Amino acid sequence: MTSDQVLLGVNIDHSATLRQARYRGMDRTTGGMVEPDPVLIALLCEKAGADGITVHLREDRRHIQERDVRRLRESITTRLNLEMASTSEMIRLALEIKPDAVCLVPENREEISTEGGLDVVALSSKVGDVVAAMNESGIETSLFIDPDPKQIEKAALLKAPWIELHTGSFANTSGNEREREFERLNQMAALGASLGLTINAGHGINYVNISEIMRIPHLHELNIGHSIISRALLFGIDEAVREMKAKILSATPI
Interface contacts to ligand PXP, rule CB under 6 A: 11, 56, 83, 103, 105, 113-114, 144, 164, 202-205, 223-227
Q: Which of 165, 244, 156 is nearest to 199 (CA)?
A: 165
Q: Mark whether 218 is an active-site residue.
A: no
Q: Least Å distance between CB 143 and ligand PXP?
A: 10
Q: Least Å distance between CB 163 and ligand PXP?
A: 11
Q: Which residues of 67-76 are buried (b: 16+ CB within 10 A; e: fewer)?
A: ebbebbeeeb
Contacts of 97 (CB under 8 A, 6+ apart): 69, 70, 73, 82
CB atoms inside a 10 Å sphere around CB 254: 5
Would you say 25 or 50 has its CB closer to ligand PXP?
50
Among the listed residues 56, 63, 218, 220, the single catalytic one is 56
Q: Mark whether 56 is an active-site residue.
A: yes
Among the listed residues 14, 63, 203, 220, the single catalytic one is 203
Q: Least Å distance between CB 254 and ligand PXP?
A: 26
Q: How far apart are CA 224 and CA 202, in angstroms?
A: 6
Among the listed residues 46, 83, 164, 221, the single catalytic one is 83
Q: Mark whether 166 is an active-site residue.
A: no
Are 189 and 164 contacting, i.e. CB atoms less than 8 angstroms apart?
A: no
Would you say 93 or 213 has its CB closer to ligand PXP?
213
Task: Indicate which residues carry an active-site annotation.
Answer: 56, 83, 203
